[in-house]
Amino acid sequence: MSNQNTAEQDSVELEKRTRRALERVATVLHTDGTPIAAGDDPSMVAVESGNSGREHTVDLREERCTCADHRHRGAECYHLRRAKIALGIRPVATAELAAADVAGGLAEHAPGPKVLASDGGVVGGDGAELVDDDAAATWKGPFPEYNRYGEPTGARYVRCSECGVEVLEGETEHATHRTGCDGVGAAESFDGP
């Protein structure tokens, strides 16, 4: 008998490192041990395992980690994934959360995960939709693109801070912003021939 109790959980197969990133007790902090606040530059962070007490340094710009898994296999280890999730760099689908036994304090000392909402939007860790009406629209990123199994595809994308539309890096002139969005570079985006 399965202990999964929803059809949504049955449909999602989490990659093992993504499952570890969501389920293991770990803390993401600045390398000096201080909590990471929204707006900080978290390009280098420490991920400390709650079980073993081991700490690994994660370089988010270079996508490297000091752990053996990353050094020997070149894979995106669970430390990299945990840092990206806890910092809101890699959004997490609600189906992924439902399929995992998510560790308490997933982003206790970090800005918090972004959860992909069922309507295609993104919500913050507290359930509030991420909206900043006062800020001018800008392209955020670039962010690494992931396939449905949580593996990087090698492509990078950027996201409009106002409407959330995402396009591949270098393709912003082809972006079609959502209704009501002033759009980043909207004049270039909608120029006709």
Q: How many CB atoms lie under 10 A from the CB of residue 158?
A: 21
pTM over 0.85: no
- pLDDT computed for residue 40 by the predictor: 83
Instruction: Read off the DSSP letter of residue 33.
Output: S
Cβ neighbours of residue 134 closer than 8 Å, sequence gap 6 or more: none
**Secondary structure E strands in 50-176:** 55-59, 64-65, 92-93, 115-116, 122-123, 139-146, 152-160, 166-168
Please state, in angstroms and rounded to a whole number, the distance separating the CA atoms of residues 91 and 94.
10
Omega prior to 142 cis, within 30 of 0: yes
Sign of CA dihedral 105, 121, 84, 185: negative
- pLDDT (tens place) for every residue of the chain, 193 residues total: 344 444 433 456 888 999 999 999 899 999 998 898 887 888 899 999 877 789 999 999 889 999 998 988 888 999 999 999 999 888 888 888 888 888 878 888 888 888 876 555 655 544 444 444 445 677 887 878 777 666 778 888 887 777 777 788 888 887 887 777 777 654 333 322 3
Q: What percent of the chain has pLDDT over 90?
A: 19
